Amino acid sequence: MGKKNPIIDTYIARAADFAKPVLIHLRELVHKVCPVVEEKIKWSFPHFDYKGEMMCSMAAFKQHCAFGFWKASLMKDKKLAETAHSEVAMGHLGKIASLKDLPPDKTIIAWIKEAMKLNDEGKKIIKPTTSIKKELIIPGFFSDTLKKNKKAWATFEKFSPSNKRDYVEWVTDAKSDDTRDKRLKQSVEWMAEGKPRNWKYMKEYR
Protein backbone atom coordinates (compact mmCIF):
# COMPACT_ATOMS: atom_id res chain seq x y z
CA MET A 1 0.00 0.00 0.00
CA GLY A 2 1.12 3.55 -0.65
CA LYS A 3 1.91 5.97 2.14
CA LYS A 4 -1.17 7.53 3.69
CA ASN A 5 -1.20 11.19 4.63
CA PRO A 6 -2.24 11.88 8.27
CA ILE A 7 -4.13 14.95 7.05
CA ILE A 8 -6.53 12.64 5.21
CA ASP A 9 -6.94 10.53 8.36
CA THR A 10 -7.97 13.70 10.19
CA TYR A 11 -10.36 14.69 7.40
CA ILE A 12 -12.10 11.30 7.57
CA ALA A 13 -12.20 11.34 11.37
CA ARG A 14 -14.01 14.69 11.30
CA ALA A 15 -16.53 13.60 8.68
CA ALA A 16 -20.09 12.66 9.58
CA ASP A 17 -20.58 9.06 10.74
CA PHE A 18 -22.40 8.06 7.55
CA ALA A 19 -19.49 9.36 5.47
CA LYS A 20 -16.62 7.61 7.24
CA PRO A 21 -17.11 4.08 5.76
CA VAL A 22 -17.60 5.55 2.27
CA LEU A 23 -14.41 7.63 2.43
CA ILE A 24 -12.41 4.78 3.96
CA HIS A 25 -13.58 2.35 1.28
CA LEU A 26 -12.83 4.68 -1.62
CA ARG A 27 -9.42 5.47 -0.19
CA GLU A 28 -8.58 1.77 0.18
CA LEU A 29 -9.60 1.07 -3.41
CA VAL A 30 -7.37 3.87 -4.71
CA HIS A 31 -4.39 2.57 -2.73
CA LYS A 32 -5.09 -1.01 -3.79
CA VAL A 33 -5.00 -0.11 -7.48
CA CYS A 34 -2.33 2.59 -7.28
CA PRO A 35 0.21 1.78 -4.51
CA VAL A 36 2.31 4.85 -5.32
CA VAL A 37 -0.57 7.32 -5.11
CA GLU A 38 0.16 10.58 -3.31
CA GLU A 39 -2.47 11.99 -0.96
CA LYS A 40 -3.02 15.74 -0.62
CA ILE A 41 -5.60 18.24 0.55
CA LYS A 42 -6.61 20.66 -2.19
CA TRP A 43 -9.60 23.00 -2.06
CA SER A 44 -10.13 21.67 1.47
CA PHE A 45 -10.82 18.05 0.50
CA PRO A 46 -8.76 14.89 -0.26
CA HIS A 47 -7.09 14.43 -3.63
CA PHE A 48 -5.13 11.47 -4.96
CA ASP A 49 -2.25 12.38 -7.27
CA TYR A 50 -0.37 10.02 -9.55
CA LYS A 51 2.86 10.87 -11.32
CA GLY A 52 2.65 14.49 -10.24
CA GLU A 53 -0.87 15.00 -11.60
CA MET A 54 -4.30 14.93 -10.01
CA MET A 55 -6.08 11.64 -10.61
CA CYS A 56 -9.19 11.54 -8.42
CA SER A 57 -10.72 13.10 -5.33
CA MET A 58 -13.36 12.60 -2.68
CA ALA A 59 -15.29 14.84 -0.32
CA ALA A 60 -17.76 14.64 2.53
CA PHE A 61 -20.65 17.05 2.94
CA LYS A 62 -23.42 17.26 5.55
CA GLN A 63 -25.63 14.61 3.97
CA HIS A 64 -23.62 13.02 1.17
CA CYS A 65 -20.18 12.19 -0.15
CA ALA A 66 -18.70 12.74 -3.59
CA PHE A 67 -16.05 11.04 -5.69
CA GLY A 68 -14.66 12.24 -8.99
CA PHE A 69 -11.91 11.81 -11.56
CA TRP A 70 -9.88 14.81 -12.66
CA LYS A 71 -9.82 13.63 -16.28
CA ALA A 72 -13.31 12.12 -16.36
CA SER A 73 -14.10 13.93 -19.61
CA LEU A 74 -11.39 11.84 -21.30
CA MET A 75 -12.52 8.50 -19.89
CA LYS A 76 -14.42 5.87 -21.86
CA ASP A 77 -17.43 5.51 -19.59
CA LYS A 78 -20.12 7.66 -21.21
CA LYS A 79 -21.87 8.48 -17.94
CA LEU A 80 -18.66 9.80 -16.40
CA ALA A 81 -17.94 11.89 -19.46
CA GLU A 82 -21.48 13.27 -19.64
CA THR A 83 -21.43 14.22 -15.98
CA ALA A 84 -18.03 15.83 -16.38
CA HIS A 85 -19.21 17.92 -19.32
CA SER A 86 -22.61 18.88 -17.90
CA GLU A 87 -21.38 19.44 -14.34
CA VAL A 88 -24.89 18.79 -13.04
CA ALA A 89 -23.85 16.38 -10.29
CA MET A 90 -21.52 16.60 -7.35
CA GLY A 91 -18.49 14.55 -8.34
CA HIS A 92 -18.98 11.91 -11.02
CA LEU A 93 -20.98 9.32 -9.07
CA GLY A 94 -23.74 11.61 -7.91
CA LYS A 95 -24.54 12.02 -4.22
CA ILE A 96 -23.26 9.10 -2.14
CA ALA A 97 -25.03 8.65 1.20
CA SER A 98 -23.84 5.11 1.99
CA LEU A 99 -21.71 2.25 0.65
CA LYS A 100 -24.81 0.96 -1.12
CA ASP A 101 -24.76 4.01 -3.39
CA LEU A 102 -21.34 3.10 -4.78
CA PRO A 103 -20.90 1.11 -8.01
CA PRO A 104 -19.35 -2.40 -7.67
CA ASP A 105 -15.70 -2.37 -6.61
CA LYS A 106 -14.63 -3.87 -9.93
CA THR A 107 -16.19 -0.90 -11.75
CA ILE A 108 -14.45 1.67 -9.57
CA ILE A 109 -11.16 -0.25 -9.88
CA ALA A 110 -11.46 -0.21 -13.67
CA TRP A 111 -12.02 3.56 -13.59
CA ILE A 112 -8.99 4.10 -11.37
CA LYS A 113 -6.83 2.03 -13.71
CA GLU A 114 -8.05 4.08 -16.67
CA ALA A 115 -7.36 7.32 -14.79
CA MET A 116 -3.84 6.07 -14.07
CA LYS A 117 -3.31 5.28 -17.72
CA LEU A 118 -4.34 8.80 -18.73
CA ASN A 119 -1.68 10.18 -16.40
CA ASP A 120 0.86 7.64 -17.69
CA GLU A 121 0.20 8.85 -21.22
CA GLY A 122 0.36 12.51 -20.20
CA LYS A 123 -3.15 13.23 -21.49
CA LYS A 124 -4.36 16.74 -20.66
CA ILE A 125 -7.74 18.38 -20.23
CA ILE A 126 -8.50 21.89 -21.39
CA LYS A 127 -10.12 22.91 -18.12
CA PRO A 128 -11.01 21.28 -14.78
CA THR A 129 -14.03 19.02 -15.17
CA THR A 130 -14.78 18.07 -11.59
CA SER A 131 -17.47 20.17 -9.96
CA ILE A 132 -16.55 19.32 -6.37
CA LYS A 133 -14.18 22.23 -6.00
CA LYS A 134 -16.93 24.73 -6.85
CA GLU A 135 -18.76 24.08 -3.61
CA LEU A 136 -17.25 25.68 -0.52
CA ILE A 137 -16.84 22.97 2.08
CA ILE A 138 -17.34 24.28 5.61
CA PRO A 139 -16.04 21.64 8.07
CA GLY A 140 -18.20 20.84 11.05
CA PHE A 141 -15.52 21.84 13.54
CA PHE A 142 -15.32 25.27 11.86
CA SER A 143 -19.04 26.05 11.91
CA ASP A 144 -19.55 24.51 15.38
CA THR A 145 -16.84 26.73 16.86
CA LEU A 146 -18.11 29.80 15.05
CA LYS A 147 -21.69 29.31 16.24
CA LYS A 148 -20.51 29.55 19.84
CA ASN A 149 -19.86 33.24 19.19
CA LYS A 150 -23.07 34.89 17.95
CA LYS A 151 -21.33 37.98 16.56
CA ALA A 152 -18.75 35.93 14.66
CA TRP A 153 -21.40 33.62 13.21
CA ALA A 154 -23.61 36.55 12.17
CA THR A 155 -20.64 38.14 10.38
CA PHE A 156 -19.77 34.89 8.63
CA GLU A 157 -23.33 34.39 7.42
CA LYS A 158 -23.39 37.88 5.91
CA PHE A 159 -20.02 37.45 4.18
CA SER A 160 -19.74 37.09 0.42
CA PRO A 161 -18.69 33.62 -0.84
CA SER A 162 -15.14 34.85 -1.38
CA ASN A 163 -14.85 36.22 2.17
CA LYS A 164 -16.16 32.94 3.58
CA ARG A 165 -13.68 30.99 1.45
CA ASP A 166 -10.78 33.17 2.67
CA TYR A 167 -11.40 32.15 6.26
CA VAL A 168 -12.29 28.50 5.68
CA GLU A 169 -9.27 27.83 3.48
CA TRP A 170 -6.92 29.71 5.81
CA VAL A 171 -7.98 27.47 8.70
CA THR A 172 -8.21 24.15 6.85
CA ASP A 173 -4.93 24.64 5.00
CA ALA A 174 -3.00 24.67 8.28
CA LYS A 175 -0.32 21.98 8.34
CA SER A 176 -0.78 21.05 12.00
CA ASP A 177 -3.65 20.87 14.48
CA ASP A 178 -1.98 23.51 16.64
CA THR A 179 -1.76 25.97 13.76
CA ARG A 180 -5.31 25.17 12.71
CA ASP A 181 -6.64 25.81 16.22
CA LYS A 182 -4.75 29.10 16.49
CA ARG A 183 -6.07 30.26 13.13
CA LEU A 184 -9.60 29.23 14.06
CA LYS A 185 -9.41 31.17 17.33
CA GLN A 186 -8.07 34.22 15.51
CA SER A 187 -10.79 33.90 12.88
CA VAL A 188 -13.50 33.93 15.51
CA GLU A 189 -12.01 37.05 17.13
CA TRP A 190 -11.78 38.93 13.84
CA MET A 191 -15.26 37.94 12.68
CA ALA A 192 -16.70 38.93 16.07
CA GLU A 193 -15.34 42.38 15.21
CA GLY A 194 -16.93 42.22 11.76
CA LYS A 195 -13.62 41.89 9.96
CA PRO A 196 -12.88 39.92 6.78
CA ARG A 197 -9.78 37.70 6.68
CA ASN A 198 -7.60 40.29 4.92
CA TRP A 199 -8.84 43.32 6.87
CA LYS A 200 -5.28 44.48 7.57
CA TYR A 201 -4.90 45.38 3.91
CA MET A 202 -8.17 47.31 3.69
CA LYS A 203 -8.25 51.06 4.33
CA GLU A 204 -11.59 51.01 6.13
CA TYR A 205 -10.18 48.74 8.86
CA ARG A 206 -6.91 50.58 9.48
**Taking 80 as the threshold, does the pLDDT of residue 123 lie above it?**
yes
Both 29 and 127 in one domain: the answer is: yes
**Taking 70 as the threshold, does the pLDDT of residue 119 lie above it?**
yes
**How far is it, in rounded angstroms, from Cα 27 to Cα 103?**
15
Both 106 and 169 in one domain: the answer is: no
Does the pTM surpass 0.75? The reply is no
**Nearest one of 74, 58, 67, 87 to 116, comparing CA atoms:** 74
For residue 47, being part of any structural domain is answered with yes
pLDDT band at 175 (very low <50, low <70, confident <90, very high): confident
Both 173 and 187 in one domain: the answer is: yes
pLDDT band at 203 (very low <50, low <70, confident <90, very high): low
Both 128 and 146 in one domain: the answer is: no
pLDDT 10s digits, 71-111: 988 888 877 766 655 444 457 888 899 999 999 999 999 99
Both 121 and 147 in one domain: the answer is: no
pLDDT 10s digits, 129-174: 444 455 778 888 899 999 999 999 999 999 998 899 999 989 988 8
For residue 121, being part of any structural domain is answered with yes
Both 129 and 147 in one domain: the answer is: no
Domain end call among 134, 152, 174: 134
Domain end call among 134, 151, 170: 134
For residue 1, being part of any structural domain is answered with no
Both 35 and 107 in one domain: the answer is: yes
Grouping H, G, I as helix, E, B as strand and the rest as coil, residue 127 is coil
Both 162 and 201 in one domain: the answer is: yes
Q: What is the CATH number of the domain that holds 115?
A: 3.90.1150.200
Both 157 and 90 in one domain: the answer is: no
Both 90 and 172 in one domain: the answer is: no
Count of structural domains within the chain: 2
In the predicted model, what is the mean pLDDT of the chain?
Answer: 87
**Nearest one of 132, 21, 1 to 69, comparing CA atoms:** 132
Domain coverage including residue 102: 6-134
| Torsion sign across C-alpha atoms 122, 29, 68, 10 | negative
Both 116 and 43 in one domain: the answer is: yes
Around Cβ 180, how many Cβ atoms within 10 Å? 19
Both 146 and 66 in one domain: the answer is: no
